Amino acid sequence: MDTAHCSEQIVERLRAASRIAILTGAGLSAESGIPTFRDAMSGLWSKYAPSQLATPQAFARDPALVSRWYDERRAAAALCEPNAGHAALARLQRWALSAGKEFTLITQNVDGLHQRAGSANVLELHGSLRVWRCLACGTEVKPPAAPFSSYPPICACGGRLRPGIVWFGEALPPDAITRAEAAAEACDFFASLGTSAVVYPAAGLISKALTGRAAVMEINPEPTDFSAAATWSLREKTGEMLPVLVELVERA
């Protein structure tokens, strides 16, 4: 089905929806210059795959290396700007709430760009680069934009700081995943945006939406395991497609 024909149907379903749930992945931030998880890494990190570094075992084995990787990603994200896709989702949330609809934005991303674009109440399933936690006293630290001076960074109590990130093998924040699953089950419009949909339990949200009564829209230049089951699967970039859809929704 061509994108123009889909767009009319999508806008119609969005305007008729009562409960909207959106899941985003690294593809949303790709047009802001933040590499996705499957992009090859460069420089010091070129010999690693993200999944090798994004584990408690990697941090235990080499806390300086892993905390440097996260701190460099944090500093890099702070220098990036939200793109038109982030801005469109913030506009869509304002439109939905003003029309008396429920709107839940769920992200797998840890870069904070949705919040910087103006989205509110973002459910961060995999934590945030901007939050670090002390292994000794549990204090949560939101460090200034400048990189840490040494790795692994140390808490005021002398304890070691770890990134406030959900690593592979770790449980997701109970409140975030519980609210995300409830939204995916209850919604009548679900969008899967810029995600390869291979990481669980986040990808399971798409299944929950499909099992319910939701119309499901996917936007991704590449197909995923859910493309065939989606109501609409658009081979587009989110930074290009989302502004078009939100413009049509607001105008209709």
Question: Which residues belong to the active site?
Answer: 126
Q: How far is the CB of 213 from ligand BV8 (least distance, A)?
A: 24
Instruction: Return the closest-CA partner of residue 243 out of 16, 35, 31, 98.
Output: 31
Instruction: Return the closest-CA partner of residue 66 out of 168, 144, 143.
Output: 168
Nearer to ligand BV8, 159 or 204 (CB): 204
Decide: is 45 part of the binding site for ligand BV8 (CB under 6 A). Answer: no
Per rule CB under 6 A, count of chain residues that contact ligand BV8: 35
Q: Which of residues 107-136 bind Zn ion (CB under 5 A)?
A: 134, 136
Decide: is 237 part of the binding site for ligand BV8 (CB under 6 A). Answer: yes
Q: How far is the CB of 8 from Zn ion (least distance, A)?
A: 55
CA-to-CA distance for 108 and 120, rounded, in angstroms? 15
Instruction: Return the closest-CA partner of residue 160 out of 141, 179, 184, 177.
Output: 141
Distance of CA 5 to the CA centre of its chain: 28
Nearer to ligand BV8, 93 or 220 (CB): 220
Which residue minimizes CB distance to ligand BV8?
A: 27
What amino acid is encoded at 148 in this protein?
F
Decide: is 64 part of the binding site for ligand BV8 (CB under 6 A). Answer: no
**Torsion over CA of 231, 218, 212 and 202, rounded to 10 degrees?**
160
List of residues contacting ligand BV8 (CB under 6 A)? 25-27, 30-31, 36-38, 50, 54, 108, 110, 126, 165-171, 194-196, 198-202, 219-222, 237-239
